[in-house]
Amino acid sequence: MGNQQQDSMLVSAEPARDIMVNCENGTIVRNTRILLTAVDCVRIMLIYIATAICSNKDKCMKLTGPEKVVRNLLASAGIKVGGKNPWDIQIKDRRAYDKILGQGSLGFGESYMDNWWDCDALDDLICRIHEANLREKAKKDMETIALAVRSRLFNLQTNRRAFEVAEKHYDLGNDLYEPMLGKTMAYTCAYWRNASNLDEAQTAKFDLICRKTGLKPGMKILELGCGWGSFAKHAAENYGVEITGYTVSKEQVALGMERCKGLPVVLRLDDYRHARGEYDAIISIGIMEHVGYKNYRTYMKVADRCLKKNGVVFIHTIGGNKSRTAIEPWLNKYIFPNAMLPSIAQLATAMEGLFIIEDLHNIGPDYDRTLLAWHENFEKAWPALKEKYSERFYRMWRFYLLSCAAVFRARYAQLWQMVLTRIGTPQPDCRIS
């Protein structure tokens, strides 16, 4: 055989066998004659079997850089890609790895909206991500950095920008919000202490606020951020007060005035900064998340300007565990543009010299249950809603409700109720639960 024999790694005195070996992937080819030992034949058959098992080329590929990083991060939170637990993530499109790693929370949410991945228990998945603090472990993505810089350089909650969140979120359509929110049309955290359903819990929340602020018949109340007039309706009907409310949503004013027909309630389509008059109490339920850290002091000055002597200010707001200047990029882009969660430090600094905190009550865990109730109502209503809203909207809205539920379950955010008075005011009886 000469040189051919020296080049071959397989030399045998046994009969030659007609067999083919594709050196690239181990598949069998015909009409190639080489000398093999019995051991060599076994080795080739093992290669063939392994190749057959891994016939799906994607499964045999080595992990890419982004995929490896994402899988390892998720694994540190007890989440397995392709796992059998309800919180495990199922990747449908490998592009998801690059998008998640490159764009952080924005890419995570958008790839879900695009159906690149799925999960049976989306809220449990995201709760585990927060509990494992993966947000801090992963490197900062450019969207998060850019949003933080933008919020520091510019006032994202000016008079002109104040209406953006209404146009993009609150004015989506009352046909969406009515079945989701229930009879009360309350779009803030409910109070579940003695409640068995969403409507009871929202009514209990309204009553808790009325008692904390000491409402009595004949009082004049200013509500900054009045939504669909849900609290105004309850307070006017049950406590005999007059209420003037402000909101930037035209849909909320239209439906709210219809709901409050015949009651001493006026809802105005205007920014809170334009509020005028004197009131016995000033109540804000879910507006502080839209005020912005550059405007907290302005809010406090508006409250001081409009509050009668010995009056009470009440604030019901989602709050963050750390002082930040922007929310997650996905929420900012798709749900609440220009929003942010205040910290205790930011609010305390803003009220310094104007108000003192008489009571601080954290009912954050109740928001988990509230969001799950909204999600359940949304799912029930979807067959009637899908003619107007797209499948991508459906996945976006599910991600919004369930990811926010996870945030409160992981104690990553809180829900504070604060009672404030001016310095020198007799302390009110507001420690109520």
| More reliable by pLDDT, 142 or 65 | 65
* Least confident stretch, 126-135, 281-290, 391-400: 126-135
Q: Look up residue 418 and give its two tokens.
A: 């604060």
Q: Give 310-323 pLDDT, tens digit per residue.
A: 999 999 999 999 99
Please tell us whether the domain made up of 159-422 is placed in CATH 3.30.499.10: no
Is the pTM for the entire model greater than 0.85?
no
Q: Give 258-298 pLDDT, tens digit per residue.
A: 999 999 999 999 999 999 999 999 999 999 999 999 999 99
Q: How big is the CA angle at 312 (ends 308 and 313), to the nearest 5 degrees?
A: 110
Smallest CA-to-CA distance from 246 within 179, 299, 310 is with 299
Q: What is the pLDDT confidence band of residue 65, given thresholds at 50, 70 and 90?
A: confident
pLDDT at 165 over 80: no
> In the chain, where are the structural domains located?
3-59, 67-139, 159-422
Percent of the chain, pLDDT > 90?
Answer: 71
Q: Give 193-219 pLDDT, tens digit per residue.
A: 999 999 999 999 999 999 999 999 999
In which residue are the tokens 């000398």 written? 35
Q: Give 21-34 pLDDT, tens digit per residue.
A: 443 444 444 444 44
Q: Look up residue 288 and give its two tokens.
A: 């502080």
Given a contact cutoff of 8 angstroms between Cβ atoms, the answer to whether 141 and 107 are in contact is yes
* Least confident stretch, 122-131, 160-169, 267-276, 335-344: 160-169
Q: What is the pLDDT confidence band of residue 136, given thresholds at 50, 70 and 90?
A: confident
Does the annotation count 127 as an active-site position? no
Distance, CA of 275 to CA of 264 (rounded, Å): 18
Q: Report how far Cα 177 is from the mean position of its chain's Cα atoms.
A: 17
Q: Are strands 279-285 and 220-224 parallel, antiparallel or unpaired?
A: parallel
Q: What is the pLDDT confidence band of residue 101, given thresholds at 50, 70 and 90?
A: confident
pLDDT of residue 318: 98
Q: What is the mean pLDDT of residues 57-83?
A: 80
| More reliable by pLDDT, 383 or 7 | 383
pLDDT of residue 156: 52
Q: Report how far Cα 142 is from the mean position of its chain's Cα atoms.
A: 19
pLDDT of residue 351: 98
Give the residue ranges of DSSP H helices in 166-295.
174-181, 198-212, 230-239, 250-259
One of 127, 226, 306, 404 is an active-site residue; which one? Answer: 404
Distance, CA of 186 to CA of 402 (rounded, Å): 18
